Chain A
């Protein structure tokens, strides 16, 4: 099965927000990546009759997701990067900052490594 390519430059820890997975070699060099759009299951879209769209947000839920990545011979790790795993609290802080632009407080940090998984070859 062929995996579609990722498009664009790979996101970088400390610069980008959101969530993504990296396939890395044993020296943690990025071989491939996949952006994860809604990995926490914390939103749904609502489609209005006039063609406009809104997204409803809620708490993170126990969730599974599938990610298709190319099969690299030298792949060694999969690392997951992301923001807070408590998105409701993050959204509340951002909403408060937006309501008080004169006192924005500390900016939120972009995404960081959340988890790392060792890959092994199937026999």
Chain B
């Protein structure tokens, strides 16, 4: 990046529900938009917000949220794409250096779309005070994104779901609910609100949402051969909160609250437990 790769034109509070000191403040920046594409950027921001509001429970809590849009223009349109997934390499001069095929631990990951987060945070904090979450939307039709301090997604409509999943981590402290071989699962009880090793209905951390008629554990993971999970005699009712084996990078002996959730697969809605956590985090920002 250099100053010739782009510039910041200004910022606008596009959702104003009150003073920043009293609300949860989301800041959106863009990358890879030329000045002639600012209208598209504004549309992409509106499209993201439409997806965000349609994702429960954000719609019902929206009066507690402010949204700022920072208009950033880049020299070139799009993002760097070295072509690791096939196709010709593309280089785009953009202010935040958005790049597909970002490397991680010696591997190149095609849909890992990253930006210069230090610069993006600096730009955001220069224009907006009291920020709770920053999102960077990159002008690229290819699906991609990443998490961390800044949620990043491309302008592909499906990528907005990725960004909301990442905000589940960074803004609301939710854990991943997909499984794995268990090597990355911490020992002991997970300190997060939406996965557990505890299937006891009297002490489980989301016991308030479990019906007395729901079996515990509610579902064992069939692919797991080293599990202590005892399959229930009858399956849980559809849509029942319980303990479903598989989550937090382990297929065995770790449980999630629901069959599916946005923290397990981005296309699903948040499960009732994750919804309740988000609600508990945001309720104090909603005006009475």
Would you call A66 and B188 a contact (CB within 8 A)? Answer: no
Would you call A37 and B184 a contact (CB within 8 A)? Answer: no
For the residues of A in contact with B, the DSSP-based class is loop
Query: A114 CA to B20 CA in the complex, in Å?
Result: 35
* B145 lies within 8 A of chain A by Cβ: yes
Query: A87 CA to B187 CA in the complex, in Å?
Result: 12
* A116 lies within 8 A of chain B by Cβ: no
Would you call B190 and A18 a contact (CB within 8 A)? Answer: yes
Taking CB atoms, residues of chain A closer than 8 Å to B169 are 37-38
Partner of B173 from A37, A47, A87, A94 at Cβ < 8 Å: A37
Tell which of B37-45, B51-59, B67-75, B99-107 binds the partner.
B99-107
Q: Per-position contact with B for A34-53: 1 when CB-CB < 8 Å, else 0?
A: 11011000011111010111
A interface residue count range (under 10 / 10 to 19 / 20 to 34 / 35 or more): 35 or more
Assuming the A-B contacts A66-B149, A94-B183, are A16 and B105 also in contact, with contact meaning beta carbons closer than 8 angstroms in the complex? no
Assuming the A-B contacts A7-B277, A7-B281, are A56 and B183 also in contact, with contact meaning beta carbons closer than 8 angstroms in the complex? no
Partner of B280 from A7, A18, A34, A46 at Cβ < 8 Å: A7
Would you call B266 and A8 a contact (CB within 8 A)? Answer: no
Query: A16 CA to B193 CA in the complex, in Å?
Result: 12
B interface residue count range (under 10 / 10 to 19 / 20 to 34 / 35 or more): 35 or more
Which residues of B from 125 to 181 have beta carbons under 8 Å from A? 130, 132, 143-149, 158, 161-162, 165-166, 169-173, 175-176, 178, 180-181
Query: A11 CA to B193 CA in the complex, in Å?
Result: 10
Assuming the A-B contacts A5-B280, A7-B277, A58-B106, are A95 and B266 also in contact, with contact meaning beta carbons closer than 8 angstroms in the complex? no
Partner of B184 from A2, A55, A108, A109 at Cβ < 8 Å: A55
Query: A88 CA to B98 CA in the complex, in Å?
Result: 28
Assuming the A-B contacts A44-B147, A52-B178, A54-B178, are A107 and B187 also in contact, with contact meaning beta carbons closer than 8 angstroms in the complex? yes
Q: In chain A, what residue has the closest Cβ to B192?
A: A35
Assuming the A-B contacts A2-B22, A18-B192, are A45 and B147 also in contact, with contact meaning beta carbons closer than 8 angstroms in the complex? yes
Residues in A lying within 8 Å of B, measured CB to CB: 1-2, 4-9, 11, 14-20, 34-35, 37-38, 43-47, 49, 51-59, 65-66, 68, 83, 87, 91-92, 94-95, 98, 101, 107-111
Can you list 22 contacts pairing A with B, beta carbon distance less than 8 Å? A1-B130, A2-B24, A4-B171, A7-B193, A17-B190, A18-B191, A19-B191, A37-B170, A38-B147, A45-B166, A46-B112, A47-B143, A47-B144, A47-B162, A54-B178, A58-B107, A65-B149, A91-B183, A94-B182, A95-B183, A108-B187, A109-B187
